[in-house]
Chain A
Amino acid sequence: MNPVTEPTLPGYNFAYLDEQTKRMIRRALLKAVAIPGYQAPFGSREMPLPYGWGTGGIQVTASILGPNDVLKVIDQGADDTTNAVSIRRFFARTAGVRTTEKVAEATVIQTRHRIPEQPLRDHQILVYQVPIPEPLRFMEPRETETRKMHALQEYGVMHVKLYEDIARYGRIAHAYDYPVLVNGRYVMKPSPIPKFDNPKMDRMPALQLFGAGREKRIYAVPPYTSVKSLDFEDYPFEIQRWNQCCALCGAADSFLDEVVIDDRGGRMFVCSDTEYCHSRRAALPRGARESGS
């Protein structure tokens, strides 16, 4: 066994949460894995970061993390956005774990709103921060009703909603948080990732865990599990595409952020996944790299 990593935050347990809380969350995680896509209720605790800022993901990460883990935290695809920095620091401080920006080095990746472009492998765990876990919420605000609808697998309202989009706009007007069907049973919210990322969830070799702290729900998608974006035969699911490539690394296969560069409508498109972009640029010949940055 490795020597105990000395937590740098005196007065608090390893990874902040007390052991009783971790046990409760771990039990919920096991149930969530056994019932893919089902939102298991759990006794979410107040965390030292605000609700809505990743408390669900943080509680899940705190419950699974050990001293041998290597943690990567991203927000909007980037390792260096302020909230990603804040969460990464929280775990460095309370658990003393090694952190990384490299997908391949990480054993646990906590994310808000993106799935890394680089495919994940089967020893990795992807932890999503989830604001609203209930896919039926905006059609039916009542928990007591949506619970019944899931029990009866009654997802008609969801199809009606998507079909209304087609009638009005000629296509399904959902750009992110696009609903999926997990293992042929539960309709699930993938958290507000762009639908560009939805296909990555299907039969992903890594374990996917979802934590919604304020809403007190945990759900999961085990490795190699079917995750199908809802659609219609005549209006099949499709992802976003750009005519541009990344202005920095030239990637044509990644999700692009639009950056406004002047006040005359000028803009450029760059990878939202900063680590993907960095590693591609590092691999470019020297001259090309310089012109890109």
Chain B
Amino acid sequence: MYVAVKGGERAIDNAHRLLAEDRRGDPAVPELDLKQIEQQLALAVDRVMAEGSLYDRELAALAIKQARGDLLEAIFLLRAYRTTLPRLAVSEPLNTAAMAINRRISAAFKDLPGGQVLGPTFDYTHRLLDFTWAEPHGADTGTDAATGKTLPQAMPRVLQLLDGEGLIEPPRADAPTRPVADLTREAMTLPAERDLRLQNLARGDEGFLLALGYSTQRGYGNTHPFAGEIRMGEVAVEIVPEELGFAVEIGEITVTECEMINQFQGSAEHLPQFTRGYGLTFGQGERKAMAMALVDRALRARELGETPSSPAQDEEFVLYHSDNVEASGFVQHLKLPHYVDFQAELELLRRLRANASDPSPDADPNDHGPKP
């Protein structure tokens, strides 16, 4: 009996072997290659990059393959790899106004300079399982897909149009002298400024943010949101090398940005104005970007003079529970043996029960079972 808990080494080796077998599946079925994952499961790759906080399509595809398609596990793999990478430079802020647009919509205006550009969206598909996809589909020669080329160069931001009239709060350049906070380098300190909150939300679990954003719409901290603008496309990443002193472009990344327009407020000193909520993700992550913008606005309650009363407005609650690598690890650690603690509790419980039925101090709670 006692030896049953031994043999941990062999058990682990066997588990790893079984995992490798299951990962490969039926050897008669061709093995996935990373290019296939990267190209054909591109939105899974995007999510893993976003929450894994590392923009690298190939590594994200590898993580998905290694994780057998478990995206949270893939995010964890990518994070654990990312943490060992040296930090060579810090980029300049992305200029999303200069984005090469693939999709851009506004729910606030019917038409606007630059127009509405649907791009590659599920939005108006009918969610009917399409059995033609059960067979290889070949290359789609969609001729209309070339519309991107005719897009106008200038795509002014929708919120800028409102800003021109003073109808929305101006974007705030929070203390530009202070370095931007980075929760991957230092433990969070609360209350958090908006830079730290946005970083936390950008890495946060999509499901968690979706539920929180949804809760604000159902009245738990309603912010009366309008999707002012959602844009998705490629932006340039620039750094300023110490020795050059000017910005150079090091590459392009795809991002999705959501600017939410929220309820106006006014006071004796200030005319009523719309307020902002902001979301940004790597790749195509519209649902995440929108949820993030809702939660960002909800978390600004204190700053905008609202009394926080709902979960989405509760900074500590949101920021400490948004990270799925932390959450998944701690929930699943309950699988680890706890028999020492359990034994301690068991002994205590027996003692309490024994005391209740026999208050004499010598009542022995553990006096049961066969004697040695």
Q: Please tell me whether chains A and B touch each other in their complex, using a CB distance cut-off of 8 A.
A: yes
Judge whether B9 and A240 touch: CB under 8 Å: no
Q: Please name 12 pairs of A and B residues whose Cβ atoms are closer than 8 Å in the assembled complex, sorted by A.
A: A12-B84, A20-B86, A43-B187, A50-B332, A51-B325, A75-B337, A81-B5, A175-B348, A195-B344, A242-B366, A257-B339, A265-B368
A85 with B12: CB separation less than 8 A: yes
Q: Which residues of B pack against A, CB within 8 Å?
A: 1-2, 5-9, 11-12, 76, 79-80, 82-84, 86-87, 184-191, 316, 320, 325-326, 328-333, 336-341, 343-348, 351-352, 355, 364, 366-372
Asked if A226 is at the interface of the complex by the 8 Å CB criterion, the answer is no
**A223 contacts chain B at the CB level, 8 A cutoff:** no
Does the CB pair A43–B185 fall under 8 Å?
yes
Residues on B with beta carbons closer than 8 Å to the beta carbon of A45: 83, 184
A30: CB under 8 A from chain B? no
A80-B320 contact in complex given A42-B187, A175-B348, C-beta closer than 8 Å: no
Closest CB of chain B to A92's CB: distance in Å?
11
Bound-state Cα–Cα, A195 to B9, Å: 30
**How many whole Å from B54's CB to the nearest CB in chain A?**
11
A58 to B: closest C-beta gap in Å: 12
Asked, given contacts A46-B76, A144-B316, A171-B352, whether A266 binds B369 with beta carbons under 8 Å apart, the answer is: yes
Query: A53 interface residue, CB < 8 Å from B?
Result: yes
Distance in angstroms between the alpha carbons of A180 and B154 in the assembled complex: 64
Chain A residues whose CB sits within 8 angstroms of the CB of B316 once the complex forms: 141-144
What is the interface of chain A, defined by CB distance below 8 A to chain B?
A: 12-13, 16-18, 20-21, 24, 41-48, 50-53, 55, 75-78, 80-86, 89, 112-114, 131, 141-144, 169-171, 173, 175-177, 192-196, 214, 216-217, 240, 242-245, 247-248, 255-259, 261, 265-270, 272, 293
Neighbouring B residues of A18 by C-beta, 8 Å: 84, 86
In the complex, chain A residues whose CB is within 8 Å of the CB of B84: 12-13, 16-18
> Of B76, B340, B345, B367, which one neighbours A50 at CB under 8 angstroms?
B76
Asked whether, in the complex, the Cβ of A261 is within 8 Å of the Cβ of B1, the reply is: yes
How far, in whole Å, are A51 and B369 apart by their CA atoms in the complex? 38
A33 CA to B356 CA in the complex, in Å?
A: 44
Q: Given A51-B330, A82-B12, A85-B9 in contact, is the A76-B187 Cβ separation under 8 Å? A: no
Are A44 and B372 closer than 8 Å at their CB atoms?
A: no
CB-based contact A243/B340 at 8 Å? no
Within 8 Å CB of B329, what residues of A? Answer: 50-53, 55, 214
